[in-house]
Amino acid sequence: MAPNAFSAYVRSAPRRSLNAVDESIEGQISQWREYVLRRGTLGAAEVDELEDHLRTQVADLGETGLSPDEALLVAVKRMGNLDDLTREFAREHSERLWKQLVLTGTPEPDDRSRRRDFWMMMGYAVAAAVAIKIPALFGREFADDDGFYIRNVGLLVLALLAAYFAHRRRLRGPGLVWLVVLFAMGAVFANLHPFESGGSTELLVGLHLPVFLWLLVGFSYLSADWRSGHRRMDFVRFTGEWFIYYVLIALGGGVLLMVLSATFAAIGIETVEVVESWLVPCGVAGASVVAAWLVEAKQSVIENMAPVLTRVFTPLFAAMFLASVVALIWTGNAIDVERDLLILLDVSLIVVLGLLLYSVSARERTAPPTLNDYLQLVLVVSALVLDVLALAAILSRISEFGFTPNRTAGLGMNLILAVNLGWSAWLSLGFLRRRRPLAALEKWQTDYIPVYALWGAVVTVAFPPLFGYA
Amino acid sequence: MRIGKDLVAASAGPLVMAILAEGESYGYAILKRVSELSGGKLVWTDGMLYPLLHRLHRLGYLEAKWNAPQVGRRRRYYRITPAGRKALADQRTQWMVVDEALRGAWHQMRSALTSAPLPGGA
C-alpha cells in the first residue's frame, strides 16, 4: 500500500452537504478502523486506542477552525504511515501468535469469562472423548471392523460439538428441540437398518450422514440466524478455519503418538493396544471440540490463513484441472469409471467448491474484479467440464450395468456439484463482465448449502432399503 | 529543524516515562505534552507512540487501564510503576553523562574555533 493511500481514499469519499458533516466523518472513521483492522496485526483494543487518538485530534483541530473532514485528513496523516505503524506493532507483539495459542499471558479484564469458556470447552472435549468410548462398554471396539464406528463416529463426535455450540449460544425452545430430534433420527437411521457388514450402503451412510450432521452443527452454531445468508457465510468461514485447526492438531497428535510408541517400545512396553483403542479415538473426538473453540477464541490468528491458502491454491488447482481437461481431450479417452478415480475426482471437485466458497467469503464485496477472479472462473469452468465428463461416464456405466449404491450416490453428488458449478460459473462471468455484483454469487452459494444436507439425509435414509442394505 | 530518527527513538522512552512520572495520562495528552516541552520542535509521528507505550507496559514500567466513562468512549490511561521510576532514574543518569560529555565537547570545540581558526580559513 502506498504511503498515503488512505488519505487518497478518504479524499475520494464524496463530499456531503454541510449539516451531514459529522455523520460523514463517522462513516470515514469507521472505514479507517476497518482498514486498519483488516491488516490483522492490530487487535480491536489497540485500534480502539488509536481511534480514540484520532477522534481527540479531530476535535482539537476542529477548535482551531478546521472542518471535520479536513481535521480527519490531518489527523490520519499525523498518525503516520500505516505500514510502518503496523510493522512497529508487529515487532512489539511478535510473541502474540504463540501466546494466544498457549493461553498464558497476562490476565485482562475480560479474562474471567474467557477462562470459563476454556473450561466449558474442556468439559465438552472430555465428554466427546468419553462418548466415543461408551460403545466399548457394550463390546464395540474402535479398532473392530464390524462397521459400527463407520456409521457412528461422526454422530458421536458431532453431537457433542453441536451440544457445545447449543450451550454457548444458549439455544432454546423449538430450535433446541429440532436439533435433538434430528440428531436422534440420525442415530436411529445409522443403526436401525440391518446393514450387510462391509457393504456399500453402510459406507455410504458413514460418508453422508456426517454431511447432514455437520450442517446441524451449523444450525447450532448460528442458532437463531441460520436463515441469514451472511451468517451462513460465517459458518463457511468457521468450517474452513476449523478444518485448518483440526489438521494442525491431528498432525501434532500424530507426532506425539509416534514418539510415545517409540519411547515405550524402547522401554519394552507394547502400546499399540492403548494407542489404537484409547488415544486415537479419544483424540479424534476431543480435538473436534478443541478446534471449534480455537476458531472462536483465537479468531484473529488463523483468520488470515484460510484466505491466503485459498489464494495460493486457486491458481494451482486451476492449472491442474486445466491440464486434466487438456489431457482428456488430447487422448480422446473417456474418464475410466474406476471407483477410486471417481472418488478422487469428487474429492477434488469438493475442494474446488471449498476454494470457491472461501474466496467469495474472504473477498471484499465492492472491489472490482482482479486476476484472481479470472483464475477462479478458469478453475470453476474446468472443474465443471471434468464433472460433466464424470457424469457421462457414470451414466454410461449405469445404462450398461444398472444402478448400484455407489454409482447412484456418485451420480447424485456429481449432479449437485454440476448444478452448483454451472450456475457459479455463470454468475462469476456476470461479475467479471460487471453485469452482476459479487453478492449474487455469495447468495447462490449460501442458498445452496441446505441442498448438501438434504442429499446427505436422502442417502442416509433411503439408500440402505433401496439397495437391500448391500 | 528535524530531529534525527535515532535520536528521537533513543529519547522517546525516557521522555514518555518522565511525563507519566508527573501523573497518569493517555496517548494524545502525552503527545501534546511532548510538543509543549520541546517548544514544538520535537514532533513524533503520532501512531508511533502507541507501540512504544505497549513496549514500556510489557517491560513492566507502566500500568495501563481502560477508563470507561458513563457516557462517551473508553480511553486507555497509563501510569508509571515503581519499576518504571527506577528505570527512569537509571536512564536519567545515563542521559546526564551523555549530556555532560557533549557539553564539554561543544565547549572545547567553541574555544578551539575561537583560539585557533582552521588553516586556510582566513
Number of A to B CB contacts under 8 A, please give it.
Answer: 63
- Which pLDDT belongs to residue A11? 44
B76 at interface of A, judged by CB pairs closer than 8 A = yes
Tell me how many degrees the CA angle A321-A325-A326 measures, rounded to the nearest 5: 115
Tell me whether residue A222 is in a domain.
yes
Q: Are residues A148 and A294 in the same domain?
A: yes
| Residue closest to A36 by CA, chosen among A57, A3, A6 | A6
Chain A neighbors of B62, CB-CB under 8 A = none
Which residue in chain A has the smallest CA separation from B78? A49
Cβ–Cβ below 8 Å for B28 and A92: no
Which of B28, B55, B66 has its CB closest to that of A53? B28
pLDDT at A19 over 50: no
Q: What is the DSSP letter of A15?
A: P
Residues A424-442, mean pLDDT to the nearest whole number: 84
Tell me whether residue A33 is in a domain.
yes
B54 at interface of A, judged by CB pairs closer than 8 A = yes
Q: Are residues A151 and A164 in the same domain?
A: yes
pLDDT at A20 over 70: no
Hey, which of A201-210, A444-453, B62-71 has the most confident mean pLDDT?
A444-453
Query: CA of B21 to nearest chain A CA: how many angstroms apart?
Result: 21
Separation CA B54–CA B56 (nearest Å): 5
Tell whether the torsion through CA atoms of A169, A175, A181 and A183 is positive or negative: negative
Q: Are residues A13 and A86 in the same domain?
A: yes
Q: Residue A347: pLDDT band by 50, 70, 90 thresholds?
A: confident
3-class SS at B25?
Answer: strand
Which of A53, A75, A88 has its CB closest to that of B27? A53
pLDDT tens for A66-116 read 888 888 888 888 888 877 777 777 666 654 443 343 333 334 445 677 788
B103 at interface of A, judged by CB pairs closer than 8 A = no
3-state SS of B41-99 is CCCCCHHHHHHHHHHHHHCCCEEEEEECCCCCCCEEEEEECHHHHHHHHHHHHHHHHHH
| Residue closest to A448 by CA, chosen among A419, A427, A426 | A419
Residues B8-34, mean pLDDT to the nearest whole number: 91
B106 at interface of A, judged by CB pairs closer than 8 A = no
Residues A154-177, mean pLDDT to the nearest whole number: 88
Cα A119 from chain centre = 24
Which residue in chain A has the smallest CA separation from B54? A92
Tell me whether residue A200 is in a domain.
no
Pick from A299, A318, A343: which residue ends a domain? A299
Taking the CA atoms of chain B, what radius of gyration do you get in angstroms? 19
Pick from A250, A284, A299: which residue ends a domain? A299
Q: Are residues A144 and A273 in the same domain?
A: yes
Cell numbers linked to A369: 474484479
Tell me whether residue A166 is in a domain.
yes
Burial (CB count <10 Å: 0-12, 13-18, 19+), residue A240: buried
Q: Which range (A4-18, A320-334, B54-68, B88-102) has the least confidence?
A: A4-18
Residues A340-347, mean pLDDT to the nearest whole number: 76
Q: Are residues A312 and A220 in the same domain?
A: no
Cβ neighbours of residue B1 under 8 Å, at least 6 residues apart? Answer: B41
The most distant pair of C-alpha atoms in chain A lies apart, rounded to whole Å, by: 86
Query: CA of A61 to nearest chain B CA: how many angstroms apart?
Result: 13
The domain containing residue A381 runs over which residues?
304-436
Cβ neighbours of residue B117 under 8 Å, at least 6 residues apart? Answer: none
Q: Are residues A174 and A322 in the same domain?
A: no
Question: How far lies B20's CA from each of A174, B14, B26, in Å?
Answer: 57, 10, 9
Q: What is the DSSP letter of A278?
A: I
Provide ipTM, 2 decimals.
Answer: 0.82
Chain A neighbors of B66, CB-CB under 8 A = 45, 109
- Which pLDDT belongs to residue A246? 92
Q: Which range (A126-135, A443-452, B66-75) has the least confidence?
A: B66-75
Chain B neighbors of A110, CB-CB under 8 A = none
pTM for this predicted structure: 0.61
Which residue in chain A has the smallest CA separation from B65? A109
Q: Domains in chain A: how many in total?
A: 3
Q: Are residues A226 and A252 in the same domain?
A: yes
Query: CA of A116 to nearest chain B CA: how many angstroms apart?
Result: 22
Q: Enumerate the domain spans of chain B.
A: 5-111
Q: The domain at B5-111 falls in which architecture?
A: Orthogonal Bundle (1.10)
Residues A416-432, mean pLDDT to the nearest whole number: 91
Cβ–Cβ below 8 Å for B45 and A81: yes
Tell me whether residue A215 is in a domain.
yes
| Residue closest to B21 by CA, chosen among B76, B88, B66, B90 | B88
Cβ–Cβ below 8 Å for A52 and B26: yes
Q: What is the DSSP letter of A199?
A: -
Q: Residue A425: pLDDT band by 50, 70, 90 thresholds?
A: very high
pLDDT tens for A348-391 read 888 888 888 888 777 665 667 788 888 889 999 988 988 888 88
DSSP string, A104-166: -S---TTHHHHHHHHHHHHHHHHHHHHHHHHHHHTT--TT--SSHHHHHHHHHHHHHHHHHHH
- Which pLDDT belongs to residue A255? 94
Separation CA A449–CA A356 (nearest Å): 13
- Residue A98: CB atoms within 10 Å: 11
Higher pLDDT, A80 or B28: B28
| Residue closest to A290 by CA, chosen among A322, A350, A248, A240 | A248
CB A411 within 8 A of CB A394: yes
Mutate to test the interface with B, among A32, A35, A39, A56 (most CBs of B within 10 A): A56
- Which pLDDT belongs to residue B113? 73
Q: Are residues A131 and A229 in the same domain?
A: yes
Cβ–Cβ below 8 Å for B58 and A92: yes
- Which pLDDT belongs to residue A301? 55
Chain A neighbors of B75, CB-CB under 8 A = 52
Q: Are residues A148 and A123 in the same domain?
A: yes
Pick from A282, A299, A316: which residue ends a domain? A299
Tell me whether residue A263 is in a domain.
yes
- With a pLDDT cut of 70, the percent of chain A lying above it is 84
Interface subset of B 19-48, CB within 8 angstroms of A = 26-28, 45-48
- Which pLDDT belongs to residue A455? 92
- Which residue intervals of A227-338 are DSSP H helices? 229-267, 272-274, 280-297, 299-302, 305-331
Burial (CB count <10 Å: 0-12, 13-18, 19+), residue A326: exposed
Residues A192-204, mean pLDDT to the nearest whole number: 79
Q: What is the DSSP letter of A469?
A: T
